[in-house]
Every structure is written in C-alpha cells, then in structure tokens.
Amino acid sequence: MISEEFIAGTLSGLFGIIPFYPIDTLKSRMQTRSLEYKGSSSHLLKTMVRKEGITSLYRGIISPMLGYGAINGSVFLSRGATRDWMGGGEGGRKLGLGEEAMVGASAGFWSSFVRCPMERIKNVMQVRNRSKVLAPYSSSISCCLDLCSTYGWRVGLYQGLLTTMLREIPQYVLYFVVYERSKEALIEQKILTPGPASAVAGGLAGTMVWVPPFYSVDVIKTRLQSAKEGTYKGAWDCVVKSYEAEGLGVFFRGMGLAQMPPRSRSLSFKFSGYTIWFDCGERGGDWTAAMNDLSNMFQLTPIPGSHITALYGVPFNSDSEALLRFQKLKELIRSTITGPLDPFKSTAVLCDVEHPGAPESMEMVWAEVSVRATEQHRAVVEDIIRTFGDPGGEINTDGERPSERAARWRPHLSLAYDNIEGSNLDLKAAMEVCQKYPTLVEEEREVKGISLWNMNGRLDEWRMVDSFEI
C-alpha cells in the first residue's frame, strides 16, 4: 500500500539521520572548504571540535530532521504510485528493466522539490561561518526566514534545484534497478531469504549511487547551495571556477576513494612591470618558514622570496632596458651610502584586502608584518623612484614628485597573497605564524642588498633580473 510505504520511508528517514549527520557535515565541509583543512577529513574533524565545539557537527540538523522524513516518504510514495500506474504494484506483473528505470526517475524528480530547500538550509548551516567559528544563523528556522526575506523563496530555498535533479534522477534510476535486480537474484539463487536479501540489495544499491559521477554532481550542488549569493552564475560557472581554483580533485572531495591532494590556489591577479626590492636578512629562516606555513595552511602559491618592496610596477619593454636603469641605481647607491642601511623594525601584523575599483587596486587579500621606515630608507626610495622615473626625473603617478611618493611609502614584510573570492586568509592566521616565529616581530631586519625583479604575469612567474649587495 502507498500509505504503508510512505510511513516506512518517513520513519527510516527520521531514525537514520541522527547517528550519521556528523559524517554528512564533514562531507559538506570537505566539498566546499577542503583547502582550509589541508584536504584531510581527520584534520577537519579535530579543527571543528577544537574551534567550534562538538555541537558544530550537528549544526543545521533541524532542517533534515523536519525534511528527510518527507523526502523518503515522497520517494516511496512516487515509487509506489508509478509502479501501480504501470501495473507492477502489489499482486501485479513484474516490471521490465526500462520500467524500473522510469520508476526511479519519477522518484528522483518529485523528491527533488522536497530535498532542494531542505539541503539548501542544511548546507548553509553546515558550511558557512560568522566570525570564522560561529554559526551563520542561530537556528535552521532563522536561516530559512532570512534566506526567504532576503532573496525570495525561489532563490532563497530553491538555489541549486537543477543540480539536485541532475543528481537525484540518475541516482534513483540506478538505485531501484540495482536494488530490484540484486534482491531478486539473491532470493532466486537461494543465497538469502527475502529479509536479508532486501538489506544486502539496499546496501549495494546505496553504495553504487555515491560513486562518480553522482558524487561529483553532489559536490557542485553543495558548493552552489552553500556559497554566498553572487559567487557563481550557475552550475556550469561553479564547475569552471571550482576546477580553476582547485583542480580535478575538487570533484571528489570528501569521498574515501579520492586520493587527489588539493592543488594550490592560483592567484588570479596578474602583476605587471618591474619591481625593486630591499633584500632583507632572516633570523634562522623565520620569514621563509612563515610564508611556507601560510601557503601550506591555505594551499596558496608561496611568495618567491623574503623582501620589502621599494617600488612596484615600473613599465619597461625588456630586461635590458630595465637593467640600464638598475645599473645607474647601483652606482648612485654605492656612491651615497657608505655603510649599512638602517635596519627595519616591525610595528604591526596586518591582514587586508583590496577590492576591484579601488585606486591602484591589486585585487587580493594579503598578510604582512608592517615595518617602520627611517629617513634614510625614504631617501633611498626617493633615489629609486627618481632613477626609474621618466628622463625628467618625475614619476607619472597623478603628478606626484619622487619625494611625495617616497613620503607615502609603507614598507612591510609580505607573508601571503590570496584571491578575494573564497579566501580564508585572515589576521588570526597571520598572528599565529608570527607567534610561532616571534623573531618576525621582535627582531630588527637588516638590509642585505637591492634586487630588480620582472613581475609580469602570475606570482609563480616572477624572476630576479639582477641584484647587488649593500
């Protein structure tokens, strides 16, 4: 009877969710924020319990508690109704393979309308954070109300409906075909009695529907539903951006079969021009170690070297043209500086962001240790600006004179760069590496020399053209 199947589906959904919900939470986090947790589910579990508490594993459980029963009930209801319509209900004929597939497709289609809003709320609660460790909303109910009031019920609750159907329909087609045929074979071959045969067939079918490509579609659905509005233009845009950011392995995050390690996040900002660096000394490799730690923590492309930028983005047509100016700078510095340059002293740890549209915006998130500049430093920077400016000795930057530009120069020790979208790089992480390597903020940083870098292109394409010691 349809009513009996509805009750059975509802009860199975309610009683099955509680013990397995933490696993679902970990899966959702791994699908969307794997880079933050070094691609390790065990690291994710330890981090969530330590920073967010064990209750974070059950965040958003109210939504599936209220919805999973209806989802499973709708599956059993639509399956029973479709089988009855085809004449394969209780006491009816045996359905063919194609007919069983149609039964599964019907169940997947209709259940999507119930599953999509439930999983939309669940994914937002599981994946998003407020202030890094707090839940985005106080409850699933408040999450639902806010999504509906802010975006309307169609976007608020049915974001990702298409990807839900793309997953559900083929999943249920495969599930019911495998379930019915394997159960039938186990009984006919007298391997198992009907009860155990149903359990084994259900387990086999349940395992098969969570292998790729079904699982990969689930990854896209989770990322699409949990992302902040405007992150993706649609399912295909989510596929493209996810692949560009994390590689092919992103489509297998969270499943035990996937052994692909996360790929470093490529910095999308393209640098330009030639740049002059102050090459600074390290204290036992502290600066490089801090840069590597942040890069590994967030799977970022590491900055090529420890430096303090004196002048960025001078346009030259070739290395040889830039080298002519750099040779003049070398002669000037060595004729005016008779001893070592003043050391740089740290003043603060900073994490900031430049959004598109801001003047001279570099469109990225970065972490740094700010340092204090002395009058000697600014005099050298003024010489650098004047040497690398136009033949008249001026820099074409809103009419600024070299002395004016040198006056607003803000030196710093760069630690990490990241894209604005999806970044987890923050002040807390920068503070943690500085606490791990306290000499970054406690010790003065001496200047070893000056170098010329070609920075046209991506971060990993930077290359040093020439350098000299001071």
Condensed to tens digits (0 to 9), the pLDDT of residues 324-366 reads: 999 999 999 988 888 889 999 999 999 888 766 555 567 889 9
pLDDT grade, residue 13 (50/70/90)?
low
The counts of H helices and E strands in the chain are 15, 7
Lowest mean pLDDT among 51-55, 223-227, 268-272, 294-298: 294-298
pTM above 0.75, yes or no: no
Q: Among candidates 256, 252, 247, 172, which has minimal Cα distance to 217? A: 252
Q: Which helix (H) or strand (E) holds 413?
A: strand 412-418
Tokens coding 408: 């607003």
Condensed to tens digits (0 to 9), the pLDDT of residues 244-260 reads: 877 888 888 887 533 34
pLDDT, the chain, mean: 83
CA distances from 74 to 67, 78, 79, 294, 433 (A): 10, 6, 8, 47, 51
| Domains of the chain, each with CATH number or no CATH | 2-252 (1.50.40.10), 274-469 (3.90.1140.10)
Give me the pLDDT at residue 353, please: 83
Q: Choose the most confident range, by mean pLDDT, from 20-29, 283-292, 394-403.
A: 20-29
Q: Does residue 6 have a pLDDT over 60?
A: no
How large a percentage of the chain has pLDDT more than 90? 33
Higher-pLDDT residue of 39 and 289 is: 289
Q: What is the DSSP letter of 233?
A: S
Question: Are 219 and 250 within 8 A, CB to CB?
Answer: yes
What distance in Å separates the CA atoms of residue 303 and residue 76, rounded to the nearest whole number? 55
Full strand arrangement of the beta sheet holding 463-469: 307-314, 274-280, 447-454, 463-469
Condensed to tens digits (0 to 9), the pLDDT of residues 153-162 reads: 998 999 999 9
Q: Taking residues 287-308, report their average pLDDT.
A: 81
Q: Does residue 374 have a pLDDT over 80?
A: yes
Give me the pLDDT at residue 143, please: 92
Condensed to tens digits (0 to 9), the pLDDT of residues 380-437 reads: 999 999 888 743 344 444 456 777 777 888 999 999 998 887 777 889 889 988 988 8
Condensed to tens digits (0 to 9), the pLDDT of residues 421-451 reads: 777 788 988 998 898 889 999 989 999 999 9
> b/e for 412-424, b at 16 or more Cβ within 10 A?
bbbbbbbbeebbb
